[in-house]
Amino acid sequence: MPVHIDIRDGVAVLTLNRPPVNSFDLALRRDLRAALAMVMTKPEVEAVVLTGGTRHFSAGADIEEFASGTRGGATAVPTLPDVITDLDQAAKPVVAAIAGTCLGGGLEVALGCHHRVVAANGTLGLPEVKLGILPGAGGTQRLPRAIGVKAALDMILSGTPVNGAKAAKLGLATLSTGDLVEDAVAVARQAARDGAKPRLSLLRAELPADAGADWFQRQIDGLKRPLPAPLACIEAVRAAVELPFSQGLQREFNLFRELVVTPESKALQYAFFAERRAARIDGLSPDVQPRAIERVAVIGAGTMGAGIATVAVNAGLEVILLDRDETGVQKGVAGITKGYDAAVAKGRMDGAERDRRLGRLHTATDLAACAAVDLVIEAAFEDMGVKQDIFRTLDKVCGPDAILASNTSTLDLDAIAAITSRPQSVVGLHFFSPAPVMRLLEVVRGAETAPEVLATAMALSRKLGKVGVVAGVCNGFIGNRMVEEYLRQAYFLVDEGVLPWQVDGALERWGMAMGPFAMMDLAGNDIGRAIRAGRKALGDERPYSTFPDKICALGRFGQKTGKGYYQYDPATRARETDPEVDALAQAHAKEVAQEFGLSPRVIGDEEIVARCLLALANEGAALLGEGIAQRASDIDVVYLNGYGFPAHKGGPMFHADSLGLENVLRLMEGFLEGYQGQFWKPAPLLWEKASAGGRLTA
């Protein structure tokens, strides 16, 4: 039964029971309405408590239902607003007992109740803006009446949830310090005695007197990107202040209906499910169970290794951090400790937690220390010989069930696995820098990686708070292989007279968090040079601009040398264009024009964006066709979580689909006319899907 009813001495406790997260699909809405109506008619019931169990009060409306119109449809009666109105207007007091997630429509349901009691583990929020929509079941009207207009708009625009204590501090709920349901029953009983049914819908939502008449306009002006959803959120909250409740609800509903069909909301809802789909390993037998990972060794105490060790410690694992000598190890430990001390200083962590985490961090300089670990993550120098030496020793010292992982970003994992006696236990765990911040983790399956090892690596990525994506073995796996083609086009644009900051500007205006040149200055242009040299050594003869190597020849490696394609403020690392680079680029373009007989032409934003982004999608289609990625949406998950691709555009593959693959091919053929035309080779899968009128992300 989606709603369980238990009457306890005059109080009806309704428990939502719709696994996995009590999302309000049609069945749950119908059942809750019926259960509420039923208990309202029982004379022995004087009040009602509504709860969802200990992990999920409710994750909100059923996204699948309104994203794709399945499961009965979001507009099927009773709609979620219908159910919330039943709660709001109920004849007897209704108290929400909230533990765990209470998000979106789940919080809106709780706001329809007359009181709210929350457990410490409560996570209350309105994340709709992250799906390109807005709270469409009264949240923009009731939350301002519950906690004030400013606090409400902050929560709605950020989509960030608050925990139980913060919710209590905001006045959103009463914090339960004992048994949540019992506390809620007591509140319900008291409300019945008092005859108190405080309905938020009867209150007014007012701005503080000092807010100023243009307060809402200032919120609009303060938006980082004036996308439809945040703009609509501000309008809906304005309606809560300026209109009577019922008219405000109508305004909210109209804004919701407009948003739910926008390209941004389609892309964001696609991205939500794409991330969850990425966790699935196609063809994996349900009998395969991930192994328990409790003790991890991280080899290499440099930036990456120390970052990975931090991630593992944060996830509650026992960690041994190794490096060649004590100096290297202690440098790594110092970096980790510094990070925790900064968190304590900022009040994000207390001293006891800091000490607990550092207590899980151990050190060694001899690989023999890996004898009893469940998993080794090698994050040593990106050199095949170095890695093979380490794996040769690990193969001897580690236990028979230990999993051996490499954090290599480009090297051939199979060549590493081949020097061990256990290739089935070797997997790639490609973290992105800085490891404690970047959510993406490419889980690289070698030719012989055992299904159980792969499943364990994917389960570990979830435990580490990462978004795991399975990748096959090729140079650069998914993300870096595609970014090479993106960069290739960016450099060709410089060959044709576009300046680096102009390329970055076009892509950043389009939505990329950082343009390709700023990105390479961050990653290190010398790293880019090493990758290019590595690909050439592997026989990649495809032409490449000589411009990036000219930059490297000047020692302009990027932020780490204070100069790259830009110059950087030593204190703030703020970037500034550099006339020296502009002059170098112009001279370079002149040489290319003479060599290739190019006539100068203006290349605008549209062409810059198209050439760079379609190069991404094209290489994505190529590797998808080779089976390096399991599905196109996995490729999008890589770009949304590792390369600053804007989520409201869905990812490079979703973006290509949204243009239409026939149009993509036509655009590519158009490029064949230009200087870099010789380098375009539309991927076979792209041809195939385009000619069949299909999509990459279907």
**DSSP 3-state of 31:** helix
Shortest distance (Å) from residue 596 CB to ligand T1G: 51
Shortest distance (Å) from residue 266 CB to ligand T1G: 14
Q: Whose structure tokens read 């202690």?
A: 330
Q: Report CA 341 to chain centroid distance, whole Å.
A: 26
Structure tokens at 646: 């804007």
Does the active-site annotation cover 580? no
**DSSP 3-state of 135:** coil
Shortest distance (Å) from residue 457 CB to ligand T1G: 17
Shortest distance (Å) from residue 276 CB to ligand T1G: 4
Residues at the contact surface with ligand T1G, assessed by CB under 6 A: 20-21, 23, 59-64, 80, 101, 103-105, 108, 127-128, 131, 133, 135-137, 139, 276
- What are the b/e assignments for 420-435, b being 16+ CB within 10 Å? bebbbbbbbbbbbeeb
Residue 218, φ and ψ in degrees, nearest 5: -65, -30
Nearest in space to 179 (alpha carbons), one of 112, 119, 230: 119
Q: Which is nearer to ligand T1G, 36 or 259 (CB)?
A: 259
Q: Which is nearer to ligand T1G, 83 or 668 (CB)?
A: 83
Q: Whose structure tokens read 């090698």?
A: 378
Shortest distance (Å) from residue 163 CB to ligand T1G: 13
Q: Which is nearer to ligand T1G, 104 or 564 (CB)?
A: 104
Shortest distance (Å) from residue 467 CB to ligand T1G: 11
Shortest distance (Å) from residue 20 CB to ligand T1G: 5
| One-letter amino acid of 139 | G
Q: Which of 108, 382, 442, 485 is catalytic?
A: 108
Q: Which is nearer to ligand T1G, 85 or 337 (CB)?
A: 85
Question: What's the rounded Cα separation, in Å, for the pair 377 and 406?
Answer: 6
Q: Which is nearer to ligand T1G, 108 or 183 (CB)?
A: 108
Q: Which is nearer to ligand T1G, 108 or 323 (CB)?
A: 108
Question: What's the rounded Cα separation, in Å, for the pair 388 and 372?
Answer: 21
- Which residue's Cβ lies closest to ligand T1G? 104
682 prior amide bond cis, ω within 30: no
Show the 3-state SS of 423-490. HHHEEEEEECCCCCCCCEEEEEECCCCCHHHHHHHHHHHHHCCCEEEEECCCCCCCHHHHHHHHHHHH
DSSP state for residue 297 in the 8-state scheme: E
Shortest distance (Å) from residue 218 CB to ligand T1G: 25
Is there a contact between 391 and 341 (Cβ–Cβ < 8 Å)? Answer: no
Q: Which is nearer to ligand T1G, 607 or 636 (CB)?
A: 636
Neighbours of 79 (CB within 10 A): 19
Question: What's the rounded Cα separation, in Å, for the pair 380 and 300?
Answer: 5
Question: What's the rounded Cα separation, in Å, for the pair 137 and 152?
Answer: 15
Is there a contact between 201 and 88 (Cβ–Cβ < 8 Å)? Answer: yes
Q: Which is nearer to ligand T1G, 21 or 490 (CB)?
A: 21
**DSSP 3-state of 147:** helix
- What are the b/e assignments for 304-323, b being 16+ CB within 10 Å? bbbbbbbbbbbbebbbbbbb
Q: Which is nearer to ligand T1G, 68 or 678 (CB)?
A: 68
Is there a contact between 451 and 573 (Cβ–Cβ < 8 Å)? Answer: no
- Angle 311-315-319 (CA atoms, 0-180°, nearest 5)? 70
Q: Which is nearer to ligand T1G, 101 or 567 (CB)?
A: 101
Structure tokens at 82: 């219908």
Q: Which of 65, 128, 264, 485 is catalytic?
A: 128
Shortest distance (Å) from residue 292 CB to ligand T1G: 19
Is there a contact between 135 and 104 (Cβ–Cβ < 8 Å)? Answer: yes
| One-letter amino acid of 193 | R
Nearest in space to 215 (alpha carbons), one of 154, 171, 140: 154
Structure tokens at 17: 């029971």
Is there a contact between 410 and 476 (Cβ–Cβ < 8 Å)? Answer: yes
Shortest distance (Å) from residue 256 CB to ligand T1G: 7
Shortest distance (Å) from residue 127 CB to ligand T1G: 4
Neighbours of 513 (CB within 10 A): 12
Nearest in space to 503 (alpha carbons), one of 548, 533, 536: 548
Is there a contact between 77 and 131 (Cβ–Cβ < 8 Å)? Answer: no
Element (H, E) at 593: helix 579-596
Report how far apart, in Å, the C-alpha atoms of 336 and of each of 311, 332, 370, 573 are.
Answer: 10, 6, 20, 22
Shortest distance (Å) from residue 257 CB to ligand T1G: 11
Does the active-site annotation cover 108? yes
Q: How many residues does the chain have?
A: 698
**Contacts of residue 451, Cβ cutoff 8 Å, sequence gap at least 6:** 281, 284, 285, 288
Q: Which is nearer to ligand T1G, 105 or 515 (CB)?
A: 105
Q: Which is nearer to ligand T1G, 136 or 305 (CB)?
A: 136
Instruction: Describe the strand order of the beta sheet including 467-471 as a list of residue ranges.
Output: 361-364, 318-322, 295-299, 375-378, 403-406, 426-431, 440-445, 467-471
Shortest distance (Å) from residue 105 CB to ligand T1G: 3
Q: Which is nearer to ligand T1G, 131 or 457 (CB)?
A: 131
Where in the sequence numbering do the catalytic residues fall? 108, 128
